[in-house]
Amino acid sequence: MKKIEAIIKPFRLDDVKKGLSNLGIKGMTVSEVRGFGRQRGHKEVYRGAEYQVDFVAKIKIEIVLEASMVPDAMKVIQDQARTGEIGDGKIFVIPVEQVVRIRTGESGKEAL
Amino acid sequence: MDTGDTTFILICAALVMLMTIGLALFYAGMVRSKNALGTIMQSFIIIALITVEWILWGYSMAFGPDKWGVIGGLEWFGLRGVGMAPHSVYATTIPHQVFMIYQCMFAVITPALITGAFAERMRFGPFLLFSLLWATFVYNPLAHWIWGDGGWLGRLGALDFAGGVAVHLSSGVAALAAAILLGKREGFGTEELRPHNLPMTLLGAGLLWFGWFGFNAGSALAAGSLAGSAFVATHVAGTTGALAWVFMEWRVTGKATTLGGASGAIAGLATVTPAAGFVGPISAAIIGILAGVGCYLGIMAKNRFGYDDSLDVVGIHGVGGVLGLLVTGLFASVAINPGGADGLFFGNTAQLSIQCIAIGVTIVYTFVVSYTLLKIVDKLFGLRVELRDERSGLDITQHEETAYNI
């Protein structure tokens, strides 16, 4: 089993979610994060005082899925999240040791 | 007694009280979220603290029987003698108590204004003590000098319709003393000390603007044409102040900001305050523009001098107070208010020098006494929070509360 962590632009979330749903991926966790890579931040001005704000708002999507589905999932995320502008984000794939469904106690693939 | 006047002044008193709440929100939105409650609490608690001070000795000191033109006696301690019948001098068509409670709201908001200068770093107990002492030894005398029956500045002919001397200039100067004495916040100039909730600030600014009609128009102390004239002057100055600041900022930084709009409006409203009942609408419009530009520049000066007046009390109320008292000496007209005088632009050269005396005296007296009081409280109890408390924030360290539990 693998975990995909994807950092994407917030306004792409709905399309990414629909695309993953169509693939059969039934669950995900989403968090609001801040970050930067090559994308610059922006300037804010309050009563003449300038602030360079480096961190940009992003959405992090976390899904755990069978290894066989990873390539398709990555393609869907890339297709839906890409805008062509700097700051589109990144996808990380991480191995997962164990998964348990809390309500039933199922583990492994059945718990996904 | 006139029921119309009494109704009007009671409502105005409520409007001015609302201004202190508006101020709390205006300031709170501009500080970091860890200090939101601490900032609001300072204004909120001052309503309670200074009201009690006012009904015990404050009103008597400010408006009570005059001693040598300098202060009122304590004959009216606990509002003894302040009853239902009108006072023969202060407001002849409303109950004396109504005049007293209206003035109470002015006494309340003035020390609250100063809190902007030491935002995010003052200990709560010492803050209460300083505010109480300041109200007693700065506000009360100043109010007596300019508005008291027999007060020497009023006798001299200084014109101050609703609070250039006692409210804006005094709080602005005290703010400077406090900013200098308390020192800069950690990270000032290097870190991002950004407003955490500008919608809250704008709400506060709106409430202040709304309440200002009570502040300025109510100072006519009667429901009539002078109140109407002051209302118009107040509103117009607020609007041109906002426009002037926004356009200036747009020109200088490239963008018009919400905070700029709010700040410009407040600058215009503060500056027109001493002039409101003496000037016409076009004069008020010009005054607003001067305020927007002048206070904007005043805030830029802060960056040059390097003091941390966190929420720009000096730049807006200090500069606005000086400017407002000066333009009163320029634009005042007896055609608007026969009870006043003509200013320079209406042929009277004397008024401007009287205004300058009022300005000079207020600045010197306020700075000396404020600085002294701050020093005393600092020596006794310590004004500033510990650095680690400043880092954790006032909400948690001074009040054991969190503003936003999400």
What DSSP line would sit under A19-80, residue for residue? HHHHHT----EEEEEEE-SSS--EEEEETTEEEEE--EEEEEEEEEE-GGGHHHHHHHHHHH
pLDDT band at A45 (very low <50, low <70, confident <90, very high): confident
Q: Where are the domains of chain A?
A: 2-111
Q: Do B192 and A51 touch (CB under 8 A)?
A: yes
Q: Give the separation between CA B27 and CA B113, rounded to whole angstroms.
A: 9
Q: Which is it for the CA torsion B41, B42, B46, B49, positive or negative? A: positive
| Minimum-distance CB partner of A46 among B195, B252, B300 | B195
The CATH number of whichever domain residue B242 belongs to comes to 1.10.3430.10
Please report the pLDDT score of residue A52 as a whole number: 85
CB B192 within 8 Å of CB A51: yes
Query: Terminus-to-terminus CA distance in chain A, angstroms?
Result: 9
**Total domains in the fold of chain B:** 1
Q: Is residue B159 part of a domain?
A: yes
The pLDDT tens digits for B10-64 are 999 999 999 999 999 999 999 999 999 999 999 999 999 999 999 999 999 999 9
> Residue B32: its chain A contacts at CB < 8 A?
none
Any idea of the CA torsion for B306, B308, B313, B319, to the nearest 10 degrees? Answer: -10
Scored b (16 or more CB within 10 A) or e, B76-89 reads bbebeebeeebbee
Please report the pLDDT score of residue B156 as a whole number: 97
How high is the mean pLDDT of chain B? 96
Q: Which helix (H) or strand (E) holds A5?
A: strand A2-8
Q: B264: nearest CA in chain A? A: A47
Q: Give the separation between CA B321 and CA B315, rounded to whole angstroms.
A: 10
Output the CA–CA distances (angstroms, integers) from residue A42 to A51, A105, B189, B221, B265, in the order listed: 8, 47, 18, 50, 27
Q: B315: nearest CA in chain A? A: A47
Q: Is residue B404 part of a domain?
A: no
Q: Give the separation between CA B99 and CA B218, rounded to whole angstroms.
A: 10
Q: Is residue B391 part of a domain?
A: yes
Region A2-111: CATH code: 3.30.70.120
Backbone angles phi, psi at A42, to 5 degrees: -145, 170
Looking at chain B, the whole-number percentage of residues with pLDDT higher than 90 is 95
A39 has pLDDT over 90? no
**What residue numbers bound the domain in which B360 lies?**
3-399
> Residue A49: its chain B contacts at CB < 8 A?
303
Q: Do A44 and B249 touch (CB under 8 A)?
A: no
| Minimum-distance CB partner of A46 among B252, B259, B300 | B259
B406 has pLDDT over 90? no
Q: Is residue B204 part of a domain?
A: yes
CB B374 within 8 Å of CB B6: no
The pLDDT tens digits for B297-345 are 998 888 788 899 999 999 999 999 999 999 999 999 999 999 999 999 9
Please report the pLDDT score of residue B201 as a whole number: 97
Q: Do B194 and A47 touch (CB under 8 A)?
A: no
Q: Give the separation between CA B205 and CA B268, rounded to whole angstroms.
A: 12
Q: Is residue B405 part of a domain?
A: no
Q: Give the separation between CA A90 and CA B290, rounded to whole angstroms.
A: 52
Among A69, A66, A65, A91, CA closest to A78: A91
